[in-house]
Structure 1
Amino acid sequence: MTSPTFADLTTIGVGGSIARFIEPDSRVGVIEAVEDADDRGVPLCVIGGGSNMLVSDEPFMGFVVRDARRSIGVPDEVAPVEGDDRTVHVNAEAGTNWDDLVEFCVRLGLEGVEGLSGIPGTVGASVVQNIGAYGQEVADSVDSVEVWDRETKKVVELTPADLHFGYRTSALKSSMYQAPATPADKYFPTPRYVVLSVTFALRHSATGVVNVGQLARALGVETGTRLETQAIRDAVLAVRAGKGMLEDPNRYASPWMRGTKDTRTIDAAMEALKSVNGSTDPDYNRHSCGSFFMNPVLTAEAAAKLPEDAPRFAAPLPDGSGAQGVKTSAAWLIDHAGFHKGFAVHEGAAASLSTLHTLALTNRGSATAADVAELARTVQNGVESAFGVRLVPEPVAIGIDLR
């Protein structure tokens, strides 16, 4: 086959051609592919599930590397619990589909990632972004991350302290940016540290805690209740489906996506899609990058200028100072700036906000990256005009300026 386009590899289904696509199936192969690109001085994009990126329609004149290693192992062999220590370590190679890992852990009776069910992407990308949802973040369960350091050309093991996890960020992601949405000169769109594998420290328990009110309401319990992790996983998937915040499992029929996700989780996702929509036809509300904008964390002074009914939550400021700030809701700002569910820049536009969730920008079937970028800028400008807040995109934007 010829090389795929980014439209073939991403959940939003847009993006241009690729000069060279490499899919190594060994640890050495991943390192060699990265080294080859760096030695040649060509752009490098290490891609996971393609869920958190928006790529220009222009050709990408470099290497795109997708790790084909997808093994999951349990170094502790889930030995019988002795004493009070119920910790179980799980190691997953970077190319492992994230939801495959969650399903594996829940099936083994391990607690710690069930709230992260259904998030598209791979294990390698999960620690770059520090994915989070429903009261959990990857940072809560990471024990160590094995990486290839492109600067020193060595394999390094990073601890959580090294990774500097924060809200939707890490030291890995920070190495790609000199300022929010402003790429660094050297390491972009791939971090200095390329993830090879991740070891998680989970808890040997068939139950987990329902940490978030929305999830508690879906389950009909009080916040803080312990329930079976499988029940929590099922509820998370149902809530995400109701918002269109799952990937469309139809994408795995593509020859470029076959083999990247376990057939069991694909079949389960297809059955769930049919139960929600009445058919297994493509669901364009799911043809997105997921949440497109980060929830802004503002100073107290900036937050005081928001309307009284704007959501407010205490959160550390993103400047690393440790000072407390105020997190508000990007979805609320978008909606209250006049951009409601299904908004498009003009009637019949190929890109629009999801009809289920204002935080998702969607490809309605024939959108280009330029269409999505136009929609994003329209929303950013409108929110800034209404509230004085410039929304920062969550996806990695390649060849597109969304500052």
Structure 2
Amino acid sequence: MTQVTPIPLAELTTLRTGAAPERMIEARTTDELIDALREVWAGMEEWFVLGGGSNLFVGDEPFDGTVVRILTKGIERLPSPHEGRARLKVQAGQDWDDLVAYTVEHGLAGIEAMSGIPGTVGAAPVQNVGAYGQEIQETLVEVELIDESTGDVSVVPASELALGFRTSVLKHHYGGAPDRRAVILSVTLDLAEVGEEGRAIGGEQLRRALGLTDDAPVPLARVREQILAIRAAKGMLLDADDPDTCSAGSFFQNLIVPETVAAQLPPECPRWPVEPDLDAATVIPLEVFDGYVPAASPVRRDVKVSAAWLIENAGITKGFRLPRSRAGISTKHALALTNRGQATAAELAELARYIQVRVHAEFGLLLQPEPVLVGVEL
């Protein structure tokens, strides 16, 4: 590991906010990363890890602690126990979109719809990244991580991460602490070997995005190309010449609400069912089974609601700014809060709070921020 002269976080985050922290360490190998974290934890100091800086909203005051930059790289192909599939073990600091490009080039399917998502691989399972109906939990096998409480390194199966809609046991939700304080060192994915022919697309969101009308196989390269074009049109691909991309992507999460709540929204509000686990089983230990099988409990169906629609229909249009503010809504996508030129974190937070108040007043729903907030309150 290397202790370096701290760099202003405004230069390392896509929202372009944040002063230089008190201390900064760069880790370019797994061993360096482990050593750096153990040292920081032993000192009982404030800390956070920094990958691509694309899901981070940092306050204006200097961070009084250590920032550990994860700069590890590497993609290792491994055999899969499942026929027609392959596994990739990827270092946490690997660029996510570079990984997607690698899988497409090698005919490995499973994450191609997540093309163009900024950030690093290690951050992907933390919030269960996804796009167009595809999520990392569908291909994630396990993660290698180091726990803050013990400093121990272990391999944890995906089933123990409590992966849900943009969440996991590792995520620092606004207003709370993660259920498990740990840092991911590497990620292992299990992908389908489909080659150049590609595969049929089943998910409705992705089919709609690609404009598909039949079930013919679609080459992975075509999927990636079209998704990148869609994201670019929404200002969701990083471009130094486009201020609409100076954002943390979607600043607010789409809401997951009971279908009874969704039914009270205007019918034109976009929504998607969150499918229940239809294969869930009731397990009764044999030693206590008395011959009675309890009736199945009613299934509460949840619905995902478009936060972008709620924002626009609360009267906040694309390109909106508060008076004299250098923060604004993207001119291309209502979910992206953007830094239009040296905006402070205070200006961005003021805009975020304004949006929350307007949406709550109009629809009775409270939008929650998606980025990790450091030194900022909404």
Q: TM-score range by the shorter chain?
A: 0.7 to 0.9
Bigger drift between 106-115 and 211-220 goes to: 211-220
Could you say if the C-alpha distance between residues 60 and 209 of structure 1 is closer, same or farther in structure 2, counting changes exceeding 3 Å? farther
> Any gaps of 5 or more consecutive residues in structure 1?
251-281
Bigger drift between 333-342 and 144-153 goes to: 144-153
**Structure 2 residue 367 is the aligned partner of structure 1 residue 391:** yes
Could you say if the C-alpha distance between residues 316 and 62 of structure 1 is closer, same or farther in structure 2, counting changes exceeding 3 Å? farther
Mapped to 2, the partners of 1:219 and 1:137 lie a distance apart of 17
The answer (yes or no) to whether the contact 1:212–1:223 under 8 Å persists in 2 is: no
Aligned residue for 1:344, secondary structure, equals: coil
Aligned residue for 1:202, secondary structure, equals: strand
Quote the residue 1:232 is aligned against: 223
* 2:312 aligned residue (308, 323, 335): 335
Mapped to 1, the partners of 2:214 and 2:9 lie a distance apart of 41
For 1:3-402, what aligned pairs fall within 5 Å after superposition? Answer: 3-76=6-79, 85-173=83-171, 176-177=172-173, 181-184=174-177, 192-206=181-195, 207-211=198-202, 215-216=206-207, 219-222=210-213, 224-248=215-239, 250=240, 282-315=241-274, 323-346=300-323, 349-402=325-378
Deviation at 1:325, TM superposition (A): 1.8
Mapped to 2, the partners of 1:383 and 1:63 lie a distance apart of 36
Mapped to 2, the partners of 1:231 and 1:314 lie a distance apart of 27
Aligned residue for 1:245, secondary structure, equals: coil
Aligned residue for 1:169, secondary structure, equals: coil
Aligned residue for 1:373, secondary structure, equals: helix
Deviation at 1:220, TM superposition (A): 4.4
Mapped to 2, the partners of 1:307 and 1:155 lie a distance apart of 49
The answer (yes or no) to whether the contact 1:208–1:232 under 8 Å persists in 2 is: no
Mapped to 2, the partners of 1:390 and 1:133 lie a distance apart of 22
Could you say if the C-alpha distance between residues 296 and 223 of structure 1 is closer, same or farther in structure 2, counting changes exceeding 3 Å? farther
The answer (yes or no) to whether the contact 2:133–2:205 under 8 Å persists in 1 is: no
Bigger drift between 56-65 and 38-47 goes to: 38-47
Mapped to 2, the partners of 1:219 and 1:316 lie a distance apart of 22
> Any gaps of 5 or more consecutive residues in structure 2?
277-296
Aligned residue for 1:337, secondary structure, equals: coil
Deviation at 1:310, TM superposition (A): 1.8
TM-score normalized with structure 1 length: 0.83
Q: Report which of the two structures shows the higher radius of gyration computed on alpha carbons.
A: 2
Mapped to 1, the partners of 2:28 and 2:204 lie a distance apart of 42
The answer (yes or no) to whether the contact 1:112–1:208 under 8 Å persists in 2 is: no
Structure in which a larger fraction of residues adopt helix = 1
Q: Percent of aligned positions with the same letter in both sequences?
A: 43
Deviation at 1:305, TM superposition (A): 2.7
TM-score normalized with structure 2 length: 0.88
Deviation at 1:137, TM superposition (A): 0.5
Q: Which amino acid aligns with 1:246?
A: L
The answer (yes or no) to whether the contact 1:135–1:211 under 8 Å persists in 2 is: no
